[in-house]
Amino acid sequence: MATAYADCFDPTGARYGIPTYPWRYAPDGYATRRQLRAQGLRPGGQPVAAQLMRSSRRRKSGVAVAYLYRVDRAVPVRPMTSRKWGALALAMLARRTCPICRATYGYCLPTSLGMCLNCADSEGTNHGIAA
């Protein structure tokens, strides 16, 4: 392995406290939350079993970390109930409804404006603000 990978390779957990592997080199039987979700599973309260690590210029710490969970201890995702579907539908309706003119659009309104584009344009001209 290259030097960058060797810095992130700690299968015993002596350096970082938990087993650490380089990015894309996780052993079989471990998965991230997203990978578990794609399989229809969730961690189910189990602790983090290992981590993936790579150097990153974007992070303050200089490394990017992804936590891994054991697949054999994962449990199935809870099914969506009718009440959850209803609550989700109402939340999405609220994101698509303008609070000023009460019109409902087929897309989510921009949060930067807090209203639809028509209301933002009319408010900008009413207050003398150039759009």
Tens digits of residue pLDDT in 33-68: 999 999 999 999 999 999 998 877 787 777 888 999
30 inside domain = yes
pTM for the full predicted model: 0.66
Residues in the chain, overall count: 131
Identify the sign of the CA torsion 37, 40, 44, 48. negative
Is the pLDDT at 128 greater than 60? The verdict is no
Q: State how many domains the chain has.
A: 2
113-114-115-119 Cα dihedral, nearest 10 degrees: -50
pLDDT given at position 43: 96
pLDDT band (50, 70, 90) for residue 124: low
List, for residues 68-93, the tens digit of each pLDDT value.
999 999 999 999 999 999 999 999 99
Q: Containing domain of residue 102, as a range?
A: 82-126
Query: Do 72 and 88 fall into the same domain?
Result: no
- Within this chain, do residues 52 and 92 fall inside the same structural domain, yes or no? no
